[in-house]
Amino acid sequence: MNLPKQPSPWVLTMAFALSLSRFGLADPAPAQPPTAVPTPDESLLGTVEVNGSSDSMPPLPKLAVVPMFPTGAPDSIVNLVVRRDMDLSGQFEVLPESLSPSGPFTRTTPIDLASWRERGAEYLLRVFGQPVGADAARVELVGEAYLTSKAPPSAVKEPPPPAISGDASAIPRPPEDAKPLFRTSVSALTKNVRAASHELVDLLLGALTGQPGGFASRMVYAETVGRWRRVFVIDSDGFDLHPIGPVDATALSPTFGPGGQVFYALSANYSPFQIVFGEKAIRAPFAVPGSVMGLTFSADRGRLAVASMVDGRSQLWLGQSGALSPMDLPPFANGPVFGPLGKVAYVAGTPVQRVYLDGKPISPAGFMASAPVFCDTPQGLLVVYTVGVGTGTDIIATDTSGGALRRFTRHEGANTYAACSPDGRMVSFFSTGKRGQGAGLFIAPIARPWLAKKISSDVGESLRWARP
């Protein structure tokens, strides 16, 4: 595999300075000889398990989804979304539809658990849509989870008591000998069936694993289009990709802010970058000196961190809207990101940048690090980020002290800009790898990164993942 040669840290620093001069943000620095940077020992990053053969990882429980007949909307939409989301989640091995017993299957067809058990299914989902009374504009999406054996597999937690939303009396009941383990419903406008299907998946995951899922969410990123760089929003499963903002300007560092709005830094006609939000690029009421190069909000959208260039130097600002204060940080600080309990991570240093948390470096010394993000996983809080390795870049994670290092990717081009799902169980990232599924946007279960799946062919930057 022929990979593009990665520029040295000195070349990256010079390119960054020159790009700033292009936008009138800094004078080009005079050429200086590069500082000798020793080649780091890649063995410090460890390896990536590729098949899940570790004795510490039990096999995934097998789950089947009942194929509904007829397959018209909304039944076909909710069925496809549930099957895809469950597969992406990495919590189950989703059996192919071809293994289903002979049908046809409808909303009221008796469930023959023995037949599904013979096909290997340990758990069974039946999902469908039905009208809400005489209101043709609304639909009720129903989800039922069945256990095919008397005792649940040890790999899946005992589910909580069934919870039903909406009018339970309107939901067709299966025969008494095949009672669902869990039943729930989500009411939605008919035009929003796909989005509501993600909400249904999150409820089903919560029942089967003890923790709700994170699929009722969106990702946002920036990508070069022609001469300019635009902001794009995409659903968690790779659908409904659409741009936001002007077509003739350069956008940086999009993120979700108050009210679910997309905020980003924008430069028109090579002017300094300013914070704007929404499709119409409305100027945000944040007083930030200099030219904004990055921004992020806390999970509750109440705090803001901004990286800007002031008089040719980077500066981080932290606080509430309209009341930002500068942070006393090492040189070249940038890329701030919030974590739980008010934690803030960022990258800083020269000539090799490292990830810092609470004023201390936590990324391995000698590796160029960038784009940190917090992942509050069921196994503990992680900081996930990109490191330069050889001719490419990889995604790795550590705990908040820099220990317990884990490697998610290895030698598949440039793997960059990790983002964590709202439930903390999945990580997304861009990859330029040409083998296997090819380049694009990937989702991987944090516990089983070898199950990474491509959801889009786009390769962008500054990826964020959050609930609306």
- Predicted local distance difference test score (pLDDT) of residue 73: 81
100/201 same-domain check: yes
Q: What is the mean pLDDT of the chain?
A: 86
Spatial neighbors of 461 by CB under 8 A, at least 6 apart, are 221, 222, 223, 416, 417, 430
Domain assignment present for residue 9? The answer is no
Quickly state the pLDDT bin for 13 (edges 50, 70, 90).
very low
Cis peptide before 336 (omega within 30 of 0): no
- Predicted local distance difference test score (pLDDT) of residue 221: 98
- Predicted local distance difference test score (pLDDT) of residue 131: 86
Contact 44, 364 (CB under 8 A): yes
Find where tokens 């946007």 sit.
Answer: 441
- Predicted local distance difference test score (pLDDT) of residue 52: 53
DSSP letters for 391-448: TEEEEEEE-TTS-S-EE---SSSBEEEEEE-TTSSEEEEEE---STT-SEEEEEETT-
Q: Which of 95-99, 117-121, 329-333 has the lowest average pLDDT?
A: 329-333
Better-scored residue on pLDDT, 428 or 391: 428
248: amino acid identity, one letter: D
Interval 275-329: pLDDT, tens: 999 999 999 998 888 999 999 999 999 999 999 999 888 999 999 866 899 988 8
327/437 same-domain check: yes
Asked if pLDDT for residue 171 goes beyond 80, the answer is no
| Burial class, 142, CB count within 10 angstroms (exposed 0-12 / middle 13-18 / buried 19+) | buried
What percent of the chain lies above the pLDDT cut of 70?
A: 84
Structural domain range at position 153: 62-209
Final residue before a domain boundary, out of 160, 179, 209 = 209
306/258 same-domain check: yes
Domain assignment present for residue 33? The answer is no
Total domain count, the chain = 2
Within 13 Å of residue 178, how many CA atoms lie on the same side as its CB?
22
354/451 same-domain check: yes
- Predicted local distance difference test score (pLDDT) of residue 407: 94
The residue count for the chain: 468
Better-scored residue on pLDDT, 98 or 328: 98
Strand 135-147 and strand 218-225: pairing?
A: unpaired
Beta-strand runs (E) in 343-391: 344-348, 354-357, 360-361, 369-377, 380-389
- Predicted local distance difference test score (pLDDT) of residue 101: 94
Asked if pLDDT for residue 72 goes beyond 80, the answer is no
296/317 same-domain check: yes
Tell which residue, 1, 6, 52, 68, has the closest CA to residue 393: 6
The total of other beta-carbon atoms located within 10 Å of residue 103's CB is 11
Domain assignment present for residue 325? The answer is yes
Please state the pTM of the whole predicted model: 0.85
175/243 same-domain check: no
The dihedrals phi and psi of 155, each to the nearest 5 degrees, come to -70, -15
126/266 same-domain check: no
Spatial neighbors of 316 by CB under 8 A, at least 6 apart, are 305, 306, 307, 326, 327, 329, 333, 334, 336, 346
Domain assignment present for residue 447? The answer is yes
Contact 228, 206 (CB under 8 A): no
Better-scored residue on pLDDT, 331 or 255: 255
Within 13 Å of residue 210, how many CA atoms lie on the same side as its CB?
6
Domain assignment present for residue 16? The answer is no
Final residue before a domain boundary, out of 188, 209, 230 = 209
Interval 211-265: pLDDT, tens: 999 999 999 999 999 999 999 999 999 999 999 999 999 999 999 999 999 999 9
- Predicted local distance difference test score (pLDDT) of residue 30: 43
Interval 25-51: pLDDT, tens: 333 344 444 455 667 888 888 787 656
- What's 323's domain CATH number? 2.120.10.30
Find where tokens 């904004």 sit.
Answer: 292
* Residue 78 CA: distances (Å) to CA of 85, 186, 196, 430: 10, 11, 8, 27
DSSP letters for 53-105: --TTSPPPPEEEEPPPSS--TTHHHHHHHHHHHHHHHTSSEEPPGGGSPS---
Better-scored residue on pLDDT, 83 or 103: 83
274/292 same-domain check: yes
Tell which residue, 383, 388, 450, 456, has the closest CA to residue 420: 383
- Predicted local distance difference test score (pLDDT) of residue 322: 67
226/202 same-domain check: no
Q: Which two tokens stand for residue 410?
A: 């290895």
Interval 401-418: pLDDT, tens: 999 999 999 888 999 999
Domain assignment present for residue 1? The answer is no
Final residue before a domain boundary, out of 156, 178, 209 = 209
224/325 same-domain check: yes
User: Cα(435)–Cα(215) distance, rounded to whole angstroms?
Assistant: 27
Domain assignment present for residue 420? The answer is yes
Spatial neighbors of 179 by CB under 8 A, at least 6 apart, are none
367/236 same-domain check: yes
- What's 163's domain CATH number? 3.40.50.10070
- Predicted local distance difference test score (pLDDT) of residue 51: 60
Spatial neighbors of 293 by CB under 8 A, at least 6 apart, are 252, 253, 265, 273, 307, 308, 309, 314, 334
225/295 same-domain check: yes
Domain assignment present for residue 307? The answer is yes
Contact 426, 460 (CB under 8 A): no
